Chain A
Amino acid sequence: NKVAIAIHGGAGTILKSNMTPELEAAYHKKMKQALSAGYKLLKQGESSIKAIQATIMIMEDSELFNAGKGAVFTHHKTNELDASIMEGRHLNAGAIAGVTKVKNPITLAHAVMVKSNHVMLSGEKAETFAKKQSIEMVSPDYFYTERRWQQLLNVLKDDSDSTQLSEDEQQSVSQASPFMSVQRWPDDKKFG
C-alpha cells in the first residue's frame, strides 16, 4: 500500500551563486506545497492521476514556474500552453497544445484522456472542447507577468530586430535592467 510522489519544476542553467536566498526559499516553499497536496490525496486513497493533477495545478498557479500563470511569452507576445497526462494501468493518455485561455492546462489534458476518444487536441478547437467540459477558462491577460514580458522584450532586443518592438516596448526594455537582473531571476535561461 505504499504511495509516493515526485515532481520537477524545470531544468537548466540554475546556479546557486546567482540565486538570492529569498527566491530560493520561494521555490522550496512552493514545491513543498505542491508535493504535500498530492501526497495528502494519495494517503486518502485517491488515484495517482488525481494526485498529480492537484500537484501540477499548484505549480501552474505560481508565477515561479514556466507553466500556467508563469508561462513565458511567444514571439507573437502571446502565451501558449501545452500539457499531457498518462496513467500506467491502461496506458490511457491525454494531451493539449497551443491553448491560450485555459487556466490549468493539466485539467484539460485529463479531460481529453477521460472524456474524448482522442489523445491530443490543439489550439482554439481544443478550447472549444474545454468549454464543453466546463474547464475553467481565463482571459489571455491572466497569463501576463512582468517578469516574463520583460524576458521576451530582452530576447527580441538581443535579436537585433528592433522592428519587432514598438517605441514603448523599446523604452520598457531600456528601463527594465534592474528588474531583469540575473541576481533577481537567475533561472531565466532554463529551458522550457
Chain B
Amino acid sequence: TVGAVALDVNGDLAAGTSTGGMTNKKFGRIGDSPIIGAGTYADNQSCAISATGHGEFFIRAAVAHDICARVLYKKIPLQQAADEVIMEKLVNMKAEGGIVGMSPKGEPVFSFNSAGMYRGYIDAEGNIHTAIY
C-alpha cells in the first residue's frame, strides 16, 4: 500500500491511498485503502490521513476518520490523536499498521505500531526526509 497527504498554498488538505491488497486474498476481499473514513480521509478543519495496515481492523476502527474526529472534537494535536488510535485503540484490537497525517498548519505526522513503515516528508525548508524502521 502507498499513500500521500499534502497541504497546498490555498490551505487545502488532500489524502490518497492506493494498494494491491493482500497476497492470496479471496472472494473479492477489499481492505481499508479504498474505504473513505477508514484508509483515507481529509478535512481542512482537522487533518488529512492515509493509512496502511491490517485492513479489516482499520475498517472496523474507522481509523482515518477517527483520528480527524479526535482532533476536531477533543481539540488535541494531530500526533496525539493519531497515537491514541494507532498505539492504543488498534493495539487493543491486536491490529498492526500505521498512518501518515497532515495538519492544517502543514505539520506531517507519522504513527505506526509495526516494526517498520516506509515513510517520508519534506520539511518547511524543502529538505527531504525518508525512513523505514
Contact = CB atoms under 8 A, between A and B. Distances in A.
Contacts, number: 325
Interface string B1-45: 111111111101111111111111110101101111001111111
Interface in A77-113: 79-89, 91, 93, 95-98, 104-106, 109
Interface in A4-51: 4-16, 19, 24, 27-28, 31-32, 34-36, 38-39, 42, 45-49, 51
Interface string B88-106: 0000000011111110011
Interface of A: 1-16, 19, 24, 27-28, 31-32, 34-36, 38-39, 42, 45-49, 51-53, 55-56, 59-60, 65-68, 70-76, 79-89, 91, 93, 95-98, 104-106, 109, 119-120, 122-123, 143, 148, 151-152, 155-156, 159, 187, 190-192
> Would you call the interface of chain B mostly helix, strand, loop, or mixed?
strand
26 contacts: A4-B121, A5-B6, A11-B112, A12-B53, A12-B116, A19-B132, A34-B4, A39-B122, A39-B126, A42-B6, A48-B6, A49-B16, A59-B2, A65-B1, A65-B2, A67-B19, A71-B19, A72-B21, A72-B23, A80-B28, A81-B19, A82-B21, A82-B31, A84-B33, A97-B30, A156-B24
